[in-house]
Amino acid sequence: MRLPHASKSAICDREGYNLPMAFISVPTAAINRVGSKTISFFLRPVHVLKNYHRSNLRPDLIAGLTVAVVLLPQAVAFSLVAELPPQMGLYAAIIAGIVGGLWGSSVHLHTGPTNAISLLVLATLLPLASIGSEKFILAAGLMAVMVGIFQIALGVARLGVLVNFVSDSVIIGYTAGAGILIGVNQLRNLLRLDIPSSSSLVTTLHDLATHLSQTHWPSLLIGLAAIFLLILQKRFLPKWPGPLIVMILNAALVGLAGLDQRGIEIIGEIPRSLPPLAHLPLLDFHLMVDLSSGALAIGAIGLVQSMAIARSLASQSRQRLDSNQEFVGQGLANLLCGAFSGFSVCGSLSRSAINYEMKARSPLANAFSGIFVLIAMFLLSPYAAYVPRTVLAGVLIVISLAMVDKTEIMRILRGTRGDAIIMIGSFFSTLFLPLQFAVLVGILLSFAVYVMRTSVPRVISVLPSKGFRHFTHQPDRDPCPQLGIFDILGDLYFGAVNHVDDALRDHMDSHPNQRFLLLRMFSVNQIDISGVHALEAIVDSYRQRGGDVFLMRTHEPIVERLKSTAFYDYLGQDHFLSYNVAIDYLFHHVLDPTICIYECEARVFLECQNLPRPQKHPHEITLPLTMPAGKVPGLDPLELWYELRKPEHPLIIDVREPREFRQGHIPEAQSIPLMKLFGDISQVPKDRPVVFVCRGGRRSTRATYALSRQGFDNVRVLVGGMQAWETIGLLEAIDQ
């Protein structure tokens, strides 16, 4: 079937149908915008170089050189944590420094090998291949490629916001646990014990205890000396590159004294070459499946750790971050590290902090650090061969102990219970579970705590403060006997509505005479159909007891959602109140002044303060709290006006307080306050029509209803009270 002929602003599809230009242009424009943004992720270096200022070159070179001095020994050490050849750590340091810097979002975040990620790489690879085998090395590169693809996909899909849902407590707990595992695992190199590497704390401790008698004492002494020197350096010369100095000194000692010929194990010569392209088993899908859980864990923990570091530094430098761009940068760094004989990387806190302290001004500082490591690898490779493994073990033990951030751990333990649970769960999962699952446990704990927090929003009763300027939670103070006021501190979605409903119904059960409810909605930013149904149920419950529900400070998007679901009309437009007039409106138009004057001693609102205090009466007086609808006869103001013009007009009895009466009343009305009226009903004649009047009609309705039950068949009420009388402009008498 052919579409109707279109205007000139139309195009034809492949089959010749005329399609309106508007039909095509809107989605095409959207696709073009998405496509251009995606392309811009990968053209980030063009933007960096185009906007580079020559004045930044010197500080960037200094920062890059300083970071490289720290990066060089770390790259070698962290590759040994993963039981990979030292050159793989150097290749990863070179590529990640350049790629992570140029394609990332942060100026100061430095990407490269890290302790925690290296341990996670080892934990994933150990069950799949023997250490040092070709499969072990290729699997490390393949997993880095998988991590990179995963991270790039998240960035291109604009899912950078996901890192906000993973608590920093996961990183603190995982890092502390990883630090302990690394330190314990390096004891075998410190003691030079011939036992296999393991990511299991229990297995490692068992093997160490079993083979402790085989300790090589010269290796242990050299390692302990290295640890002692590092501790002294951190104490007295904290800005010096301690690991590099210790490694150079010990390499010189081994080379000059020939200690490698006397049982001291060294790392061996490092190849002097550019990072070579690795021949990865990209079609080995079975291996990919085996690596998938570890790749997801490394990808997730790497992104969370990197973004946490970047955000921390950006808060000090006032730099604006793009989390999606950072995801792409981290992903490309991992992808190319895997492709060029490296392994998985992420942001490093220590090197990023150095970058910031050295006042790096652009991402080129990170690229320079990678270039300097490449130069150092060519120049220092022959000498690095003499670095003892026991010294590297000592360096790693010192670094791993620093990973246990005792200050931050104590802050979390003193903070919220949820953060403490996440941290402790992540810590013990790291120690006793396979690491790839330990990371996922921590992330799942984060989500679980988040869901728990959002599904249990605080529903707290509030009352005006002493100065009547704010509403605060005052559990020890008596509430208003007619009106309950609650703050809902959270969203009303399907996971939270049961908690909110239970809290409000518990209040209803404990305050059966409180017939009205005011919900302060300022903290409610989202509501779904479950939330709407919960509000409807609460409204029904209050209306069944003769009361009602009102909403205050409701955000416009929430109001629009309530309109679209018909709840707005169901509740009533006049039930949505603004902050400034809510209490005043409820006090004068909704609450029963009879209860306010005669039964309430709380006087919680500013409007209550000028009410007359009830006087003691010798007779027991019972006020009718409920009145059947339609049982009280009444007349409107105009009807009363015409009857007052007749010779035999009704007697008007105003049951308000004297102060109210003096401010304005119906001419010829007689003032008999309600309590005095009930104290002596003989004041009301039975042989003459009587009309009771009050401010809004509630007190006069009580009087009319009570007297009609006492046998007075000539009593009526002025419907709407003096408010209705004043509204249509009828005359009033004022007593001076």
Q: Does residue 424 lie within any of the structural domains?
A: yes
pLDDT at 716 over 90: yes
Regarding whether 411 and 348 lie in a shared domain, the answer is yes
Residue 434 binned pLDDT confidence (cut-offs 50, 70, 90):
confident
Q: Which residues are the active-site residues?
A: 694
Question: Is residue 157 classed as helix, strand or coil in its secondary structure?
Answer: coil
CA distance 154 to 161: 10
Q: Does residue 48 lie within any of the structural domains?
A: no
pLDDT of residue 623: 56
Regarding whether 340 and 437 lie in a shared domain, the answer is yes
Regarding whether 241 and 168 lie in a shared domain, the answer is yes
- Portion of the chain with pLDDT greater than 90, in percent: 44
pLDDT of residue 96: 97
CATH code: domain of residue 466 = 3.30.750.24
pLDDT of residue 17: 37
Most confident segment among 559-563, 647-651, 732-736: 559-563
pLDDT at 35 over 90: no
CA atoms lying within 13 Å on the CB side of residue 590: 23
Which among 449, 468, 501 is the end of a domain? 449
* Six-digit token string for 18: 């005329």
Regarding whether 419 and 505 lie in a shared domain, the answer is no
pLDDT at 150 over 70: yes
CA distance 718 to 523: 42
Domain extent at residue 221? 58-449
CATH code: domain of residue 683 = 3.40.250.10
pLDDT of residue 28: 54
Q: Which amino acid is at 447?
A: F
Strand 576-577 relative to strand 634-635, pairing: unpaired
Find the helix or strand (DSSP H, E) in which 423 lies: helix 417-432
Residue of 654 and 26 predicted with greater confidence: 654
Regarding whether 441 and 471 lie in a shared domain, the answer is no
Regarding whether 468 and 422 lie in a shared domain, the answer is no
pLDDT in tens, 449-497: 878 877 888 899 999 988 888 889 998 888 998 999 999 999 999 989 9
Residue of 95 and 476 predicted with greater confidence: 95
pLDDT in tens, 189-220: 899 998 887 778 898 899 999 999 999 999 99
pLDDT in tens, 322-365: 889 999 999 999 999 999 999 999 998 888 888 887 889 999 99
- Portion of the chain with pLDDT greater than 70, in percent: 92
Which among 397, 428, 449 is the end of a domain? 449
| Count of positions (residues) in the chain | 736
Regarding whether 526 and 388 lie in a shared domain, the answer is no
Regarding whether 329 and 410 lie in a shared domain, the answer is yes
pLDDT in tens, 625-681: 556 656 789 999 999 999 998 888 999 999 988 888 888 899 889 999 887 888 888
Q: Does residue 13 lie within any of the structural domains?
A: no
Strand 471-472 relative to strand 483-489, pairing: unpaired
Regarding whether 525 and 382 lie in a shared domain, the answer is no
Regarding whether 435 and 471 lie in a shared domain, the answer is no
Helices 86-103 and 364-384, interaxial angle, to 10°? Answer: 170
How much helix, strand and coil, in percent to the nearest 5, is found in the chain?
Answer: 60, 10, 30
Residue 146 binned pLDDT confidence (cut-offs 50, 70, 90):
very high
pLDDT of residue 613: 63
Residue 11 binned pLDDT confidence (cut-offs 50, 70, 90):
very low
pLDDT at 314 over 80: yes
pLDDT at 30 over 80: no
The total of other beta-carbon atoms located within 10 Å of residue 38's CB is 15
pLDDT at 166 over 80: no
pLDDT at 14 over 50: no
Most confident segment among 27-31, 395-399, 552-556, 621-625: 552-556
Count: domains in the chain? 3
Q: Does residue 604 lie within any of the structural domains?
A: no
Cα–Cα separations (whole angstroms), residue 15 to 3, 371, 444: 11, 56, 51
Q: Which residues of 317-347 are buried (b: 16+ CB within 10 A; e: fewer)?
A: eeeebbbbbbbbbbbbbbbbbbbbbbbbbbb
In the sheet that holds 548-552, the strands lie side by side as: 458-461, 483-489, 516-520, 548-552, 576-577
Q: Does residue 736 lie within any of the structural domains?
A: no
Average pLDDT along the chain: 86
CB 653 within 8 A of CB 672: yes
Residue 4 binned pLDDT confidence (cut-offs 50, 70, 90):
very low
**Stretch 131-159: mean pLDDT, rounded?**
94
Q: Which amino acid is at 210?
A: T
**Stretch 379-385: mean pLDDT, rounded?**
80
Q: Does residue 509 lie within any of the structural domains?
A: yes
Q: Does residue 25 lie within any of the structural domains?
A: no
The total of other beta-carbon atoms located within 10 Å of residue 663's CB is 12
Residue of 17 and 355 predicted with greater confidence: 355
**Stretch 26-30: mean pLDDT, rounded?**
50
pLDDT at 23 over 60: no
pLDDT at 12 over 70: no
Regarding whether 346 and 204 lie in a shared domain, the answer is yes
Out of 260-269, 488-497, 604-613, 617-626, which region has the weakest mean confidence (pLDDT)?
617-626
Which among 423, 449, 475 is the end of a domain? 449
pLDDT of residue 205: 92
Q: Does residue 507 lie within any of the structural domains?
A: yes
Regarding whether 367 and 516 lie in a shared domain, the answer is no
Phi, psi of 526 (to 5 degrees): -140, 145
